[in-house]
């Protein structure tokens, strides 16, 4: 049995206007007293499919899960291929930079050696001129 007084109070406490609360309560009461619950025949007449076959639902779920898994595997393989390509490109770039760095280091070392030799020669020449 529906407690219409309690329902109206709850609606008013929730902020509904008194006339609105009374109208809503009346409609709910009418539906409770005269309502006709939907039957399987009503659902079938309106084309609403009712699944009672849990195994059928599980089979549908398994099919969809397999499709999602296959899509995921395809995307994962594509991502891995892209990553491998990127890694190979980065390694090639690092190797090229390493070769350039070695060339620069050898050049700087030879230049520094040349400067030291030139400075040493200048000192030796200055010493011999001073002595002689």
Q: Report pLDDT digits (tens) over 91-106.
A: 999 999 999 999 999 9
Regarding predicted confidence, which is higher, 83 or 5?
83
Please give the pLDDT value at position 24: 87
Confidence grade of residue 74 (pLDDT, cut at 50, 70, 90): very high
Rounded CA-CA distance 127/132 in Å is 8
| Across 49-69, average pLDDT | 81
Confidence grade of residue 114 (pLDDT, cut at 50, 70, 90): very high
Statement: residue 130 has pLDDT above 70:
yes
Of 124, 54, 106, 110, give the one whose Cα is nearest residue 98.
106
Residue 127, burial from CB neighbour count under 10 angstroms (0-12, 13-18, 19+)? exposed
| Across 49-70, average pLDDT | 81
Please give the pLDDT value at position 53: 66
Q: What are phi and psi of 15, to 5 degrees?
A: 110, 5
Do 11 and 20 contact (CB within 8 A), yes or no? yes
Domain ranges of the chain: 36-131
């Amino acid at each position: 049995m529906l407690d219409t007084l309690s329902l109206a109070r709850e609606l008013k406490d929730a902020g509904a206007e008194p006339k609105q609360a009374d109208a809503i309560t009346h409609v709910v009461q009418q539906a409770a007293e005269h309502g006709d619950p939907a039957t399987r025949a009503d659902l079938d007449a309106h084309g609403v499919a009712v699944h009672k076959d849990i195994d059928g639902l599980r089979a549908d779920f398994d099919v969809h899960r397999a499709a999602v898994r296959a899509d995921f595997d395809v995307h994962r393989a594509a991502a891995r291929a892209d990553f491998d390509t990127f890694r190979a490109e980065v390694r090639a770039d690092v190797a090229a930079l390493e070769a350039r760095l070695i060339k620069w280091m050898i050049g700087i070392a030879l230049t520094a050696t040349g400067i030291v030799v030139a400075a040493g020669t200048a000192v030796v020449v200055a010493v011999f001129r001073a002595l002689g």
